[in-house]
Copies of this chain bind each other. A is one copy, B any other.
C-alpha cells in the first residue's frame, strides 16, 4: 500500500528547506506526494516559490491564497485562520495518510491544526530547536500537535523527548536543507553573474574582490523596531565598504518596517555598493554565499547551511537566539559599530571547517524512508 504524503509549502524558505525531502518522496516506491502551495509561496512580492516549484517539475495538487494583507500581528493571525479554514477543505479532498508540516513559520500551525483535528497523522520537521520570538511558540506548539518528529540534531531530539513526546516517535534525520548545501560542494565555483540572472535594484557591483551576502528579517514580537534594526545593519555594511548583495525579508509582521528602513537609507545615504534582490534559486543562493566573504543578518541559513559549508557568518540580534551553531557564527546585537566590527573580524580570519551539526546531506532520503515505514497513529499522551 502506497502512503499518500501531503506537504504544505507556505513560503520560499520552507520550500528550499524541504526540497530534497520532496524529491525523495517522489522517488520512493511506497510513497505518493500530494503537494499544496499556499500563503506567501504563491506571491510575486515574496519570490513566487510556486514558479520555482513548477520549474523543478513538481506537480501541485492545490493552490490556496491565504495571506490577508496588512503585515501586522492581526493580519498574521488572520492569515493563519484563513489557511486553517481552507486547508481543512483541501485535506478533506486529498485524504492523505500523513501530513508533513515544516518548521515554525506562523502559518505552519494552520497545517498542523488542520491535520490534527482531521485525525490525520502529522509529521513535523525541525522540532526541538530554540530561537525565541513567535517562532519559538509556534514550533513547540506544533510539536505538541504532531505524531512524528523528524528533527535536525541530537539536542533537538532530546528536547522534544523532554517535552513529553514518546521517544519512539522522535527521529534525528538531519535537516533536508543541508542536502542542498552538500550538493554545492561538488561544484563550488560561482558559475553565474547574480546581477545578470536576477536583476534586482541598486548599484552595479564588482564581485571579484569579495563581497558580503545580507539577509535580515524583522523580529515579529519586536514589531516597530524592525526599521531601527535594519538601519543599524545598513550603516554597518556601508561603513565596512565591501560590496553587498542584500536580500529582501519574508512576509511577516514588521516587513514594512524593514522595507521602509532600507528605502529611506537608500534615499538619504545613497549607498554605493549595495545591490538588492527579491529572491534567488536556492542553489544559486548557496553558491553565492559559499563564494562570499561572509553572510550577515539574522537568517537561519547562516546558522544551518552556512555551518555545514563553513561560511563566515555574523548573526545579529535575537532571532536565532538559542539555535545551535557551528564555529562559523559570531553573534552581535543591533548596533552598527558592533556589527561592523564583527564583519571585519569574520571576513579577516581563516574559514572554519564545515560542521555536520544540522545534517550529513542525506536527510531527504531518510525522511522519505521513515514516512514510508513507521507506524502512523494519531493518539498520544504526555509521557509523564
Contacts and interface: CB of A to CB of B under 8 A. Distances in A.
A81 B81 CA distance: 4
A223 B382 CA distance: 22
Interface string A309-337: 00000000000011000000000000000
Contact of A65 (B89, B136, B163): B89
A137 interface: yes
A117 B84 contact: no
B77 A132 contact: no
Interface stretch (A14-22, A106-114, A285-293, A355-363): A106-114
A113 B380 CA distance: 22
B80 A117 contact: yes
Interface stretch (A68-76, A185-193, A234-242, A299-307): A68-76
A21 to B, nearest CB: 24
Given A65-B78, A75-B65, A78-B65, A140 B85 contact: no
Contacts of A114: 77, 81
A119 interface: yes
Nearest to A377: B221
A81 B73 CA distance: 16
Interface stretch (A141-149, A270-278, A342-350): A141-149
A145 B137 contact: yes
Interface secondary structure of A, over-half rule? helix
Contacts of A87: 77, 81
Please state the number of chain copies in the assembly. Answer: 4
A266 B182 CA distance: 41
B88 A74 contact: yes
A126 to B, nearest CB: 14
Nearest to A128: B382
B76 A65 contact: no
Contacts of A141: 141-142, 144-145
Contacts of A118: 73-74, 76-77
A229 to B, nearest CB: 16
Contacts of A80: 84, 113, 117
A197 interface: no
A81 B78 contact: no
Nearest to A39: B69
Interface in A115-147: 116-119, 130, 132-134, 136-138, 140-145
Nearest to A122: B137
A379 interface: yes
A221 B68 contact: no
A210 interface: no
A72 B119 CA distance: 10
A249 interface: no
Interface of A: 42-44, 62-70, 72-78, 80-89, 91-93, 106, 109-110, 113-114, 116-119, 130, 132-134, 136-138, 140-145, 159, 162-164, 220-221, 223, 256, 321-322, 378-382, 384
11 contacts: A67-B69, A68-B68, A73-B119, A74-B118, A77-B91, A81-B85, A82-B85, A119-B134, A136-B380, A138-B145, A322-B381
What 5 pairs between A and B have smallest CB-CB spacing? A81-B84, A81-B85, A77-B88, A77-B117, A140-B144
Given A81-B110, A86-B86, A136-B382, 7 more contacts: A63-B92, A65-B74, A67-B70, A68-B69, A74-B92, A106-B117, A132-B379
